[in-house]
Structure 1
């Protein structure tokens, strides 16, 4: 039970979630500080926009690609710029890979920026842009007769206004946020020394007659992440931050999302191995079939499935060409605002990103 359930749950939090937290807050602050300046620069320098759009995805997560996709939906950048960002982004799956292998993450990120930039310039050179023309304005409706004025409602007493719900609700809403960040801080204090072999949590626990503190804290952290997601289900955390509270809320949501889906991948893989004795080479994730499957999985909008897919790679369940094909094809959460603003453009962009995914994945397959 420990190796099939508890250990994967703990690894998801201490091995991935904690390291995501160490990076997501600084990147969130940078987005708060310079987000508007980046928007303006992209609009002014349109010829360099595909390169800039791809480069904006260098920070982990979906923020850069969401920014570019939203700008395209508002008419601020070319279609090639949006496609460049969609190809280059690794989405929230980048946090998983960054925690497991930072050097490989940097190499793949540079590769994706090159592929994304090239694809973006090709799209612009071919004049591809299915942006829908503005619909004609509806005819003006005749003015309606004014309704008789309603008597004004009595105002609430000042005492009730001061005791209104927002303050109490705000305080309660901060509790899960504080708990999650507190667990992340404790996890960092435990996991960083363990990573550099300065501390063995299991030995420390056994020396004082207690369970493995890493196992206990890691499982608690993963369950807290799942609980945080459940409490904040249906809320949009992809908007531009307007203050430090938004930075921490958005960061907590990113950490919780990545941790929860990595836990699904780790536990699922451990159960699959324990029940069936299946090995990575037995799955249809190798060779040409693996590249094709990975590119098709990348067509699914959002980061959840892509995080699981990357988690399988980290667990040893697929080769590098399969992962790269998925990374090129997937669009993270960036396709969602484009689907809302320009649905035809978003659907075509998803199809376009599949072509370089198959090409790059196939080339890596031949070279490795």
Structure 2
């Protein structure tokens, strides 16, 4: 009897908390992040489909406009715009300064929280982030702002996968640290529904050749979009209700929509990333496409990119939440006690990839009014949201350099705002 009671106590406290964090992340990640990411990636993919590759061609031909274009992609709410810039860099279409500009301008999905609950603060914070992103992006591309030194430091960690560095040719005679990839006839994987497996591409060792799984993967892909639409509605309602955590429910209500779309959407995303994409011709996740062979293929590409981001988002959520559980760090308490160091702390927090920590940070500003405006600005510039994940998945070294670079303007701008901006107090712009 004593043994059974002890086992119940063990299951009832630490293990339950661990499971609660896991299931909570599985539900919230898809609604709070993936719904918005999927919508924005689809929007940009449809633009690519409509203009048939002319946008990437224009960027290649107008390199002086690239950092501005990167900042414009990044400043769009959510992570979708900045995510588009990452594979463009990998293939050598845009400069490294463009990547940094996109990452510095984006405030990730925490932007939706600030836009909904503190729109005036959002206007100023993201305006400053946009200007800082442009200036720093051009400084990197045309001034070589420390590129060679950072490349040399990264070189000590291990040689890049090619002989290139992390800057483009107009900076340090280098290039993306991965070689460009080829698309057969410019349309890799652009096959009709039911026949979209890449010809000659090998399946991972854990997957068998199977026409059934190919059909199942197409069906899951279609269902995924239905669930994403529900998650997007739930995400908008979540923000409209002040970002309050919904109850767990399996009913035809807002709480039920949040719960079911979150749990099902994340599960389907994991299937698409680890299984489905290999069967329906989208195995190269994180790669930019010049154009798409069909409207269905456009939706496929957006789904697979979002599924990849979802996998990384859940990993980031769990790492963050378990880190807080193990260390017992009180972010709200630290932010309130930071004083003049608050913008520096906000910028350093930006080194954490993903949106989880930054959504919490945005809620501390807009709901709890526990951090100053200067820290919000610094975090908005420094954080990379989920846009860093595609770069991490393909080229970890370039991702490390990029996230270090975005921290620099975050610290500088945040400290300047703290000392010289008259509205840098707590609660500025909160409704």
2:380 paired with 1:327: yes
* 2:226 paired with 1:226: no
For the residue of structure 1 that corresponds to 2:351, the secondary structure is coil
CA distance in 2, matches of 1:215, 1:191: 11
- Residue 180 of structure 1 contacts residue 252 of structure 1 at CA under 8 Å; is this kept in 2? no
Aligned: 1:362 with 2:415: yes
Q: Which runs of 5+ in 1 are unaligned?
A: 136-163
Asked if the contact 2:36/2:78 (under 8 Å) is kept, the reply is no
Say if 2:312 and 2:389, in contact at 8 Å, map to a contact too.
no
Q: How does 1:1-368 map to 2 (within 5 A)?
A: 23-34=40-51, 36-62=53-79, 64-91=81-108, 93-94=110-111, 105=122, 107-128=124-145, 129-130=147-148, 132=165, 165-186=209-230, 213-233=253-273, 237-240=285-288, 242=292, 243-250=297-304, 252-253=306-307, 256=310, 260=314, 280-281=332-333, 283=335, 286-300=338-352, 303-304=353-354, 307-316=355-364, 319=371, 320-331=373-384, 332-334=386-388, 337=391, 343=397, 347-366=400-419, 367=421, 368=424
**What's the CA shift string for 1:235-285, capped at 9, x where partnerless?**
76432353233244146527846985898699889x98xxx9x79345578
User: SS at 2:64's partner residue?
Assistant: coil
Q: 3-state DSSP class of the match of 2:74? A: coil
Give the structure 2 partner of residue 159 of structure 1: none
Conserved 8 A contact 2:343-2:378: yes
Structure 1 residues 258 and 92: CA distance shift in structure 2, 3 A: farther
Shift of 1:218: 1.6
Tell me, yes or no, if the aligned pair for 1:21 and 1:255 is still in contact at 8 Å.
no
The farther-off stretch of 164-173 and 222-231 is 164-173
TM (norm. structure 2) is 0.56
- 1-structure distance, mates of 2:96, 2:416: 26
More RCO (CA 8 Å, sep 6+): 1
- 2: CA distance, partners of 1:71 / 1:194: 33
How far is the alpha carbon of 1:117 from its aligned partner? 0.9
The answer to whether the 8 Å contact 1:261/1:308 transfers is no
Higher Cα Rg: structure 1 or 2? 1
In the TM superposition, what whole-angstrom CA distance separates every residue of 1:128-183 from its partner, at most 9, and x where no partner exists?
44354679xxxxxxxxxxxxxxxxxxxxxxxxxxxx94532122123443444333
Would the aligned equivalents of 2:37 and 2:79 in 1 still touch at CA under 8 Å? no
- 2:427: which partner in 1? none
SS of corresponding position for 1:299: coil
For the residues of structure 2 that align with 1:190 and 1:339, how far apart are their CA atoms? 28
RMSD after superposition: 4.8
SS at match of 1:56: helix
Contact 1:88 1:328 in 2 (8 A): yes
Q: Tell me the CA shift for residue 286 of structure 1.
A: 4.5
Q: Name structure 2 gaps, 5 residues minimum.
A: 1-15, 149-163, 166-172, 176-207, 275-282, 425-431
Residues 84 and 23 (structure 1), Cα distance of their counterparts in 2 relative to 1, 3 Å cut: closer
Asked if the contact 1:299–1:330 (Cα under 8 Å) also holds between the matched residues in 2, the reply is yes
Q: Mean alpha-carbon deviation: is it higher for 27-36 or for 249-258? A: 249-258
After superposition, the Cα gap between the structure-2 partners of 1:40 and 1:342, relative to the gap in structure 1 and judged at 3 Å, is: farther
Deviation at 1:220, TM superposition (A): 1.7
